[in-house]
Amino acid sequence: MRYRRFGRLDYQASVLGFGTMRLPVIGGDASKVDEEPALALIRYAIDHGINYVDSAHGYHGGNSEVVTGKALAGGYRSRVKIATKMPCWSVESAGDFDRLLDEQLGRLQTDTIDFYLLHCLNNKFWDKLRGLGVLPWAEKMIAKGRIGGLGFSCHEEFADFRRYLDEYGGWTMCQIQYNYLDQNNQAGTRGLEYAASKGLPVTVMEPLRGGRLAAEPPPSVRAVWDSAPVRRTPADWALQWVWNHPQVTVALSGMNTMQQLQENLASADRAAAESLSPAELALYDRVVAAYREASPVPCTACGYCVPCPNGVNIPRVFEIYNESAFYADMGVPRYTYARLAEAERANKCAKCGTCEERCPQKIHTMDALAQAHEKLKG
């Protein structure tokens, strides 16, 4: 296992962290964690050098924290830092802060949560929580030792991510989604570098894009990997790309089999910042291009088509639509599309044709928007 300094703290964090959002479950029911293998996985991870475990109030219907607490009993607690998250959407009054934290400390069987994150922070939650006094409350909890430090996880675009960093100087860490396909998505590389410029440790969620970068890729992508002089699994390629960034402190992965855990532990043994050669980095560019070419709309996100007179966020709709072609499971693309403001969705197209006149790629934008909406709605 390799370790990286966790910002200003006197703590060397394992480059691989254990994400407890994807524990083994019984009968496909996400709330029914299969305890025996889950406990074995978490303890094996710690015995092999992992010292950062990430949970949240809502994972596995609350049972992620419960199982994590059980796994850490018997001496394991003192060997790891625990991060868990406040469900921002469940907070209605200031009294909820204590209520939720008490519940989480109980589930985790601990007196202190090392890193307490505001989960999925966005502008709505940020304004609400600050209005309710979350920052002075958290500072009081830190003073009492119930929380080690305050952080946040975020899936918003860079400008919003930067806002949260700029508006509070007391963050201990932050968490973003980051992998080679998400360099310009959400906080992206700009966000990673901005957080690091403030001395903040960054933990990365979805380094394998929730597993999709570890699955068998489309043939054109497979051909690029096969042309590499070294042999790596798709998961290893994806993880090494994340760790190649010195600004990344911990890559979290949700591992639900021993094989996945052992493979990722072996990858973590080789993790090194700025270690990928220019030839290897060029391979990732080709892989990204191959994923893009496997896309139904040849949109390059040049932005000539916007502003749309009807407000449709055309490049973003096409980005989500294109990505939906890579994967059999439509859950994530549909979720992402649903998070787009209603006024920006493809069905707001009034077929005025302005976008088609402007598109340098000569895309039949109006038809493509209709197809995108049909596939992504629901």
Q: Which residue is nearest to ligand NAP (CB)?
A: 19
CB neighbours (10 Å) of residue 236? 17
User: Measured from the CB atom, is 127 or 329 closer to ligand NAP?
Assistant: 329
- x/- map, 146-165, ligand NAP, by CB under 6 A: -------x-x----------
- Regarding 77 and contact with ligand NAP (CB under 6 A), the answer is no
User: Measured from the CB atom, is 271 or 363 closer to ligand NAP?
Assistant: 271
Chain residues 226-265 in contact with ligand NAP, contact rule CB under 6 A: 235, 252-256, 260, 263-264
List all residues 6 or more positions away from 143 whose beta carbon is below 8 Å from its beta carbon. none
- Regarding 57 and contact with ligand NAP (CB under 6 A), the answer is no
- Regarding 187 and contact with ligand NAP (CB under 6 A), the answer is no
* Least distance in angstroms from the C-beta of 352 to ligand NAP: 37
- Regarding 210 and contact with ligand NAP (CB under 6 A), the answer is yes
Chain residues 287-346 in contact with ligand NAP, contact rule CB under 6 A: none
Q: Tell me, what DSSP letter sits at residue 197?
A: H
Six token digits for residue 11 = 């703590």
Q: Three-class SS of residue 7?
A: coil
CB neighbours (10 Å) of residue 360? 9
Among 65, 114, 182, 206, the residue binding ligand NAP under the rule CB under 6 A is: 206
Six token digits for residue 349 = 């197209």
Q: How far apart are CA 149 and CA 163, in angstroms?
A: 19
Six token digits for residue 213 = 């970068």
* Least distance in angstroms from the C-beta of 69 to ligand NAP: 15
The DSSP H or E segment spanning 219 is helix 219-226
Residue for token digits 């001496």? 75
* Least distance in angstroms from the C-beta of 21 to ligand NAP: 3
How many residues bind ligand NAP, per CB under 6 A? 27
Among 15, 41, 50, 54, the residue binding ligand NAP under the rule CB under 6 A is: 54
Which ranges constitute the DSSP H helices of 270-364? 278-293, 314-324, 331-339, 354-358
- Regarding 207 and contact with ligand NAP (CB under 6 A), the answer is yes
Residue for token digits 């407000």? 311
- Regarding 63 and contact with ligand NAP (CB under 6 A), the answer is no
Chain residues 10-29 in contact with ligand NAP, contact rule CB under 6 A: 19-22
Residue 204: phi, psi to the nearest 5? -105, 125
**Amino acid, res. 122:** N
User: Measured from the CB atom, is 87 or 298 closer to ligand NAP?
Assistant: 87
Q: How far apart are CA 271 and CA 15, in angstroms?
A: 7
Q: By CB under 6 A, name the binding residues for ligand NAP.
A: 19-22, 54, 119-120, 153, 155, 175, 205-211, 214, 235, 252-256, 260, 263-264
